[in-house]
Chains A and B, each alone.
Chain A
Amino acid sequence: MALYILRRLLAVIPVMLVVAVFVFLLIRLGPGDPAAQLAGDAATAEDIQRIRERLGLHLPIHVQFITWFGNILQGDLGMSIANNRPVSSLILARLEPTLMLTLTTIIFVVLVAVPLGAIAAWNHGRWIDRAVMAFSVLGFSIPVFVLAYILIYVFAMWLGVAPVQGFVSPTDSLYRFFAHIALPVLSLSTIYIALVARITRATVVETLGEDYIRTAYSKGVRDRDILLKHALRNSWVPVVTVIGISIAALIGGVVVTESVYNIPGLGRLTVDAVLASDYPVIQGLILVFSFTYVLINLVVDITYAALDPRIRY
């Protein structure tokens, strides 16, 4: 088991290296001179040269990469161009709202989507199944920000039961935290509920067709136990996989949701950085998000190994 974890951990290295190279090359090899872009239209040649030297852009490309990568490994993501603060401290300052938003969303999604998918599968082909599937296609097709505006319109403006925007830390007021986070979570989670419910349903339907389910029936096992102990117990691998993989898409959704609800998290930081062409911040954010994604999927993999006796180390 320890060896397996070690192997999986080591497998993270090439993936992160690819990400790093990609992020690095993206900025350095893109058309146009980053220094000139940063300096703006009014800059003189000396200004540009100064920026170039400050960023180390006059050095050979592989030296630049090694220096840059070495700094990253020490937790130094560079300096923001827009407000002259370390990227890492900018990111840390914005971490809490995003963390709260994504965690609440994931918990909400799992609690709603898995039972929904399982119930649909158990009633395969009946009206309840079709209703869940229709909801799933619909939820899958509504863009996050469209849903966000519909929710704001209905709950904040029309019914007036929720605040329109903003974020309150749960350490300040748990009630106000939930009041503020409710609509963002609802907007963000719909597409994932659709996705996870769909996968859960498809997997459980397939599992219900397995030979060992037939064996369970032939033993006289109760319906409830067949669904819970046999079908769901064997379905969670694809379900957890899709939850792990869709974290990447969730992060994308966070950018939009935070933007619409004016939540001061990493998503807003991303948009601000893009609008200000603050490349070091963009690089830092991509690295942090990708690393999170890889780590979450690492945890998912290790959980399989711990819980599925068939996976060999």
Chain B
Amino acid sequence: MNADRTPPHSILEIRDLTVRLPPGGDRTNAVENVSMHVNAGEIVCVVGESGSGKSVTAQTVIGLLPREQLTPTSGSVIFEGEDVLTLSRERMRGLRGKRISMIFQEPMTALNPVVRVGRQIAEVFRSHGLEPGRGGMPSISDLLESVRLPEPERLQNSYPHQLSGGQRQRIMIAMALALSPSLLLADEPTTALDVTTQARILKLIREMQDRYHNGVLFITHDFGVVAEIADRVVVMRDGQVVEQGPTDRILRNPQQDYTRMLISAVPSMVPAKRKRAPDAPVALRTENLAKTYGGGSWFRKGWEVKAAEAVNLELRRGQTLGIVGESGSGKSTVARCVVRLIDPTGGKVYLGDTEIGNVRLRELKPMRKRIQIIFQDPYRSLNPRRSIGKSLIEGPTNFGVPEREAWARAVQLLEIVGIDPDAHARFPHQFSGGQRQRICIARALAMEPDVLVADEAVSALDVSVQAQVLDLLTDIRDRFDLSVLFITHDLRVAAQVCDSVAVMHQGRVVEYEPVEQLFAAPTHPYTRELLAAAPGRHWNFQAFCEATETVAALDG
């Protein structure tokens, strides 16, 4: 991409870096014998699952390792000819923000909430004895304009909470690039953003890098993002480098099994082909479902948020209906309404033939066992004080199943979801995230429900674990003839598991089609935008080659 600029000189060179973890962890080193380099004008993606040591590597480079907890024990980090591991505290401070800068994952918390953003940007200059807009330095407005923020004059006087996530990330980028550093570290900078915002921020990082010709070390877990932005890729696992090379080579021809597995675990944008009975009985149906929050009080003007409005959905037995949308689209509101964790403010919910959206809690109870829900966060979905066995029998015993019978069923279910039944007396903290999500599935299945609602149930999991849990969900759906309402923000996942998909935007269903049709010929502009924003849509990860089908057409 930058072949015309000669010669490529190395800005950052990490050699045999080892960083030790505090004693008592599950391994001795956070990072072990890691070597990589970043050239000027190059974006290097470090890819890995959680615990791979990718963030620790970046923190070492900029000297932000938590003090007294993580210590580099060997190797060197050569930045512009100097080993940063040997620099004094003050000298290192002088480099930060000026020659090396960093942007982070959470734009919501990365800015000081009580200081105007303009002053926060100015602080970069002042910390290095400079003044924005003087001595050849860009002004705050110039910087805000360069990251394409509207009305720079007004915006610099805003506080962070008045800005959207995407805007805050732009502020972070403006701050990071204020003094034109030669190296930018980006630690999952788009992971917390919605997919359409992510696409714009990725584009911006590309643009800025073309302009400043700096090196970028970009940390991500998402091969979609890699395909979108990287010149070279470094794959990490358990603190070690598994493989590195040019993006095209890694994506087409990965040498290591782990890399192959990671790449092929990225779900395809091409919907899976599956036979389905078009006239299966309807298991769950909503009729003009609505949920409005708010209302006035004496001294406050009435405020109202229409979280969901006029939602009409139909889920047939044995099928999966996806609800896809960005944050705030109302997709989770719908999920919680149909399970009656919250009460809808309008419309009806039919479970089979029975209306459950408006009935009293007493009448609702017998219906509870017919519809179950799985949540996003596996770490908070199980009561930490109860053994998983007890969690599994809680539902059935609520409905009068004798305890002994419930235990027997729990054992079977644990086996079905792939957990050793002997582990029934263990507590949630003794399981990994993926295992806990399996246990939650077993807990829901113990009720023998007709409908299973999965609310972002795989979103918090690493991509390889995510693939396994998705397989399990598909497997149990077919095995128990379940109907699944699948809530997700991830189009790729939806393409793989859903029979039909409803796209939600600002509380409304904007498009609702069988999955093949939705992906092949989206009609609503928002759906088109969503599909176009999916990172790496031009790539077929399972086949290790460019995508040829359907979605690529959108680019035209």
Show the binding face of A for B, using Cβ within 8 Å: 3, 6-7, 10, 125, 210-212, 214-222, 225, 229-230, 233-234, 307-310
Structural contact, B64 and A220, CB atoms closer than 8 A: no
Known: A220-B124, A220-B128, A221-B127. A211 touches B110 (CB 8 A): yes
Are A308 and B114 in contact (CB-based, < 8 A)? yes
Across the interface, do B104 and A214 meet the contact criterion of CB distance under 8 Å? yes
- Number of residues on chain B facing chain A (CB within 8 A): 31
Q: Are A219 and B114 in contact (CB under 8 A)?
A: no
**Residue numbers in B under 8 Å from A7 (CB-CB):** 299
Beta-carbon nearest neighbor of A313 in chain B: B300
Query: 13 A-B pairs, CB-CB below 8 angstroms?
Result: A10-B299, A211-B106, A215-B110, A215-B175, A218-B97, A219-B97, A219-B127, A220-B97, A220-B98, A220-B124, A233-B114, A234-B112, A308-B114
A218-B64, A219-B96 as given contacts; A212 in contact with B113, CB under 8 Å: yes
Per a CB cutoff under 8 Å, which of A3, A218, A308 touches B101? A218
Q: Is the CB of B112 within 8 A of A309?
A: no
The 8 Å CB contact of A212, one of B96, B110, B124, B161, is B110
**Given known contacts A211-B104, A219-B97, is B127 in contact with A309 (CB within 8 Å)?**
no
B299–A219 touching, CB < 8 Å = no
Chain B residues whose C-beta falls within 8 Å of the C-beta of A6 in the assembled complex: 299
Q: B124 near A219 (CB under 8 angstroms)?
A: yes
A215 touches B161 (CB 8 A): no
Residue in A closest to B119 when the chains form the complex, CB atoms: A229
Partner of B62, one of A216, A218, A308: A218
Q: How many A-B residue pairs lie within 8 Å, measured between CB atoms?
A: 79
> CB distance A309 to B114 under 8 Å?
yes
A233-B128 contact given A212-B110, A218-B62, CB 8 Å threshold: no
**In the assembled complex, which residues on chain A have CB atoms less than 8 Å from the CB atom of B172?**
215
Say whether B113 contacts A234, CB under 8 Å: yes
Task: Tell me the complex Cα distance, A75–B136, Å.
Answer: 67
Chain B residues near A210: list those with CB within 8 A.
Answer: 109
Asked if A233 and B115 sit within 8 Å, CB to CB, the answer is yes
Contacts of A212 in B (CB 8 A): 109-113
Complex: how many Å from CA A99 to CA B517?
A: 77
Give the contacting residue for A310; candidates B93, B101, B128, B159; CB below 8 A: B159
Contacts of B123 in A (CB 8 A): 216, 219, 221, 225, 229
Could you say which residues of chain B place their CB within 8 Å of the CB of A216?
A: 112, 123
Residue from the list A3, A220, A307 in contact with B127, Cβ < 8 A? A220
Most chain B C-beta atoms within 10 Å of own C-beta, residue among A6, A211, A218, A234? A218
Question: With A211-B109, A214-B110, A220-B97 given, can you name 14 additional A-B contacts, CB distance below 8 Å?
Answer: A212-B109, A215-B112, A215-B172, A219-B124, A229-B115, A230-B112, A233-B114, A234-B112, A234-B114, A309-B113, A309-B162, A310-B113, A310-B159, A310-B161
Q: Is B328 an interface residue (CB 8 A)?
A: no
On whether the beta carbons of B109 and A220 are closer than 8 Å, the reply is: no
Min distance, Cβ A304 to any Cβ of chain B, angstroms: 11
Chain A residues with Cβ below 8 Å from B113 are 212, 234, 309-310
A70 to B332 CA separation, bound complex (whole angstroms): 54
B520: Cβ under 8 A from any A Cβ: no
B94 contacts chain A at the CB level, 8 A cutoff: yes
Assuming the A-B contacts A225-B127, A310-B114, A310-B159, are A219 and B175 also in contact, with contact meaning beta carbons closer than 8 angstroms in the complex?
Answer: yes
Within 8 A of A (CB), among B66-82: 68
